[in-house]
């Protein structure tokens, strides 16, 4: 028997590949299925089942493409109602893969169809659970995504999740390995550990959600501090439940080089958003006017989903040459399939054609220290939790994920400094501000991490060791 965790850091997502003898199973596959097909071919095994723990909200699963290419059936837990052919497992139903078994444990709460898969080895020993978003390391799945107005509340779902954990997970042996669907950085939980694998006994000891004295305390603690989920989540659920275009078609359409001469007119004719995926360092030096910078080397896909929201919105890309396929793949993971093409030759071709360009004024933390005075206005776009832990005194907290709510409140007649933790998010914010005609600001390279090193700014007293880009 072999169990492999296939972890994708930019999504903080874990898929699982299980092999026994000449058969295999895959749990919660990503959109691009070639890596799984390559593993199957290398191991000379047949894919018998594709297990889905629930209808995912934060990414588009590869279940449909994988099933079409292998013929393996898709399995969901009880109450799931996909709009395509699938096996809807009964609670405690057994599936055999080679000499091992997988038991479906219905664990509703995060969503009503949420299911944990229990792996039983060839000796009949329960060895691992694939918990999806039911149980994370250090946390449990947020119970506010599947609420329905007038019928099921987040409090109801939290109570259902409590019962699932108490009756299905807690009675299992402490030695069982826990394989969750997500790790630290995912928006599906609020308190996840950085590790991606643990044993259940340790989670019983250390996970705050598993250590509440009663259901009421569990509901209160699990719901406390939950921020609003990203708005694209519902669209991803709809794609996972209803189906989507094959990745091959998405790739063929998106890998369309557009000349400098046609790029501008194409954007105007289609209403496409120009997405520049270069690094903040390169973007600030020069970019196509009105383009939005979300750097590929960062939490690219989640930020695209959070800030662009509409997965059907047409996109035109400006990327480092040779990265176009990676960009389109990572966009497809969160359902953004409507890529119309990319600027042939990248930004350099635009600049060399003497087209109009724009730039963001960026200074170092040392330069900021020289320019800063008691009348300076500072906007901090980090998360509220980061700001609360430590910030420049009198800085304004304006989290990037809510920029659509606060961008209209900015007074462009008053200069301000803009920063995040390291420079990635503040450049995204800078590009969005620029596209709204707000230009009277200076972005700080290196963000708060760099600012602290100057030791010239009054900051709040409490320091949290959380590190976020």
Query: pLDDT category, 465, cuts 50, 70, 90?
Result: very low
Q: What is the mean pLDDT of the chain?
A: 95
**Cβ contacts of residue 314 below 8 Å, gap of 6+?**
270, 271, 272, 273, 338, 339, 340
Residue 147: is its pLDDT beyond 90? no
Task: Please give the Cα distance from 29 to 6 (Å, whole number).
Answer: 9
Tokens representing 294?
């979300």
Residue 38: is its pLDDT beyond 80? yes
pLDDT at 469 (0 to 100): 39
pLDDT tens digits, one per residue of 420-462: 999 999 999 999 999 999 999 999 999 999 999 998 877 775 5
Task: Please give the Cα distance from 189 to 210 (Å, whole number).
Answer: 14
Tokens representing 469?
């880009």
In terms of Cα–Cα distance, which of 118, 110, 181 is closest to 141? Answer: 110
Residue 463: is its pLDDT beyond 50? no
**Cβ contacts of residue 165 below 8 Å, gap of 6+?**
107, 109, 134, 135, 140, 209, 210
pLDDT tens digits, one per residue of 149-184: 668 999 999 999 999 999 999 999 999 999 999 998
Chain center to CA of 398: 21
């Amino acid at each position: 028997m072999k169990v492999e965790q296939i972890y994708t850091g930019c999504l903080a997502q874990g898929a699982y590949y299980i092999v026994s003898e000449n058969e295999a199973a895959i749990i919660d596959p990503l959109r691009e299925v070639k890596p799984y097909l390559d593993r199957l071919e290398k191991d000379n095994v047949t894919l018998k089942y594709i297990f889905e723990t629930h209808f995912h909200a934060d990414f588009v699963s590869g279940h449909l493409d994988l099933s079409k290419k292998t013929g393996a059936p898709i399995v969901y837990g009880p109450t799931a109602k996909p709009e395509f052919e699938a096996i809807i497992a009964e609670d405690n139903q057994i599936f055999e893969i080679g000499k091992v078994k997988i038991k479906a444990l219905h664990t509703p709460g995060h969503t009503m169809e949420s299911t944990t898969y229990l792996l039983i080895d060839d000796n009949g020993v329960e060895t691992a659970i694939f918990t999806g978003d039911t149980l994370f390391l250090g946390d449990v799945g947020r119970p506010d995504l599947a609420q329905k107005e007038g019928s099921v509340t987040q409090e109801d779902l939290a109570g259902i999740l409590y019962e699932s954990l108490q009756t299905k997970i807690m009675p299992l042996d402490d030695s069982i390995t826990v394989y969750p669907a997500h790790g630290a950085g995912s928006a599906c939980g609020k308190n996840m550990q950085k590790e991606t694998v643990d044993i259940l006994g340790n989670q019983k000891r250390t996970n705050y959600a598993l250590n509440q004295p009663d259901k009421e305390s569990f509901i209160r603690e699990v719901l406390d501090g939950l921020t609003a989920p990203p708005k694209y989540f519902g669209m991803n659920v709809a794609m996972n439940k209803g189906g989507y275009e094959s990745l091959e078609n998405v790739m063929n359409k998106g890998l369309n080089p557009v000349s400098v001469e046609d790029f501008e007119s194409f954007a105007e004719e289609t209403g496409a958003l120009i997405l520049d995926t270069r690094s903040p360092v390169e973007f600030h030096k020069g970019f196509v006017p009105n383009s939005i910078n979300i750097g590929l080397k960062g939490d690219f896909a989640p930020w695209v989903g959070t800030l662009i929201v509409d997965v059907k919105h047409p996109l035109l890309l400006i990327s480092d040459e040779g990265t176009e396929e990676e960009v389109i793949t990572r966009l497809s993971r969160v359902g953004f399939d409507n890529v119309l093409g990319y600027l042939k030759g990248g930004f350099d071709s635009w600049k060399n054609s003497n087209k109009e360009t724009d730039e963001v004024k960026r200074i170092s933390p040392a330069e900021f220290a020289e320019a800063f005075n008691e009348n300076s206005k500072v906007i901090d776009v980090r998360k509220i939790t980061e700001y609360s832990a430590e910030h420049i005194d009198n800085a304004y907290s304006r989290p990037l994920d809510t920029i659509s709510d606060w961008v209209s409140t900015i007074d462009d007649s008053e200069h301000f400094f803009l920063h995040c933790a390291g420079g990635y998010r503040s450049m995204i914010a800078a590009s969005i501000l620029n596209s709204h005609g707000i230009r009277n600001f200076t972005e700080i390279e290196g963000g708060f991490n760099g600012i602290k090193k100057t030791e010239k700014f009054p900051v709040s007293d409490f320091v949290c060791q959380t590190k976020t880009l």
